[in-house]
Amino acid sequence: MNLKDKIIVITGASSGLGSAFSRVLVERGATVFGLARRTDRLRALEVELGSAFVGITCDVTDEQTVIDAFANVMERSGRIDALVNNAGLGIFGPADEVTLEQWEIQMNVNLKGVFLCTRAALPVMKAQNTDNGFGGHIVNIASVAGLLGNPNISTYNVTKFGLKGYSEALFKEVRQDGIKVSCFYPGSIQTEFFDTAGIPISANPMTAEQIATTLVHVLETPDNYLISEIVMRPLRPKG
Ligand SMILES: NC(=O)c1ccc[n+]([C@@H]2O[C@H](COP(=O)([O-])OP(=O)(O)OC[C@H]3O[C@@H](n4cnc5c(N)ncnc54)[C@H](OP(=O)(O)O)[C@@H]3O)[C@@H](O)[C@H]2O)c1
């Protein structure tokens, strides 16, 4: 897909990967609709990126708010070429100390949010799958925690393994509709993620900008070429 003039929805655009994705996609000529709860952060990105970035205040765990946000995108643009399900969080700690609230917030953002946004985008993308056989692209941001269980991240593991299953099922379900589904499995990235995770970041993490170069590559592949999964890691995690 040539990104120029394309309409891309990114969840969790207010920091970290979502902001880096927004910057690089606007640079490539796309219009980005960035969803997140922190309106002040979204307004700051609007000032930085100009009219090609539109912030929409949205809690991805709230069904009606998600429906309204996608209706807003459709009203303004009439199409959705890509959806990046990026909003997510991890709260780490021993399994017997995880509170129900911590369990639910991770399930709700990392899985229910992806489900609600994907469900809102799919009918639009299916309708866009006309003569050229390409309707749109959904990119899910999982984690290496979606591939490997590890001590003290059991709840986060559940959500990202779940996202792996959802992505695989969806990829097989909608490929005949001309919709690409790609799932990313990154290791440690320098973002605000670790402020809430409760563990220190590794010594030599990747940067959000590095992951963004891979997003551009995956989105720009020719229409009949799908990269369904991709794992990225720092080379020397201990520095
Ligand atoms: N950093 C890493 O090492 C790493 C590694 C592998 C995978 N990941 C994944 O990468 C994704 C992005 O994380 P990040 O590293 O960029 O962390 P981050 O800087 O903390 O960003 C998380 C984003 O998610 C948004 N978000 C959280 N809850 C939300 C909700 N209910 N509704 C809407 N947006 C919500 C936040 O926006 P608001 O607070 O403004 O709503 C924020 O923009 C996550 O899915 C994470 O699991 C991160």
46 lines ligand 1 (CB under 6 A): no
Note whether residue 181 is domain-resident.
Answer: yes
Answer left, alpha or beta for residue 93, where phi above 0 means left and psi between -120 and 50 means alpha: left
> Could you give the number of structural domains in the chain?
1
> 104 CA distance to ligand 1 centroid (A)?
16
pLDDT tens track for 47-77: 999 999 999 999 999 999 999 999 999 999 9
Q: What is the mean pLDDT of residues 103-110?
A: 98
> 224 CA distance to ligand 1 centroid (A)?
30
Q: Which amino acid is at 186?
A: P
Provide the Cα torsion 76, 65, 9, 92; round to 10°.
Answer: 160
Question: pTM for the full model?
Answer: 0.98
Q: How confident is the model at residue 87 (pLDDT cuts 50, 70, 90)?
A: very high
Task: Provide the CATH number for the domain around residue 157.
Answer: 3.40.50.720
> 6 CA distance to ligand 1 centroid (A)?
23
Note whether residue 64 is domain-resident.
Answer: yes
Note whether residue 100 is domain-resident.
Answer: yes
Note whether residue 1 is domain-resident.
Answer: no
146 lines ligand 1 (CB under 6 A): no
Q: What is the mean pLDDT of residues 85-97?
A: 98
Residue 213: half-sphere exposure toward Cβ, Cα within 13 Å: 5
Note whether residue 108 is domain-resident.
Answer: yes
Note whether residue 238 is domain-resident.
Answer: no
185 is catalytic: no
Note whether residue 239 is domain-resident.
Answer: no
Rounded Cα–Cα distance for residues 119 and 106 (Å): 19
Range of the domain at 228: 7-232
17 lines ligand 1 (CB under 6 A): yes
Q: Which pLDDT value is given to residue 133? A: 87
SS3 assignment, position 195: helix
Mutation choice for ligand 1 from 32, 37, 184, CB with most ligand atoms inside 8 A: 37
Note whether residue 2 is domain-resident.
Answer: no
Atom of ligand 1 nearest to the CA of 14: 43
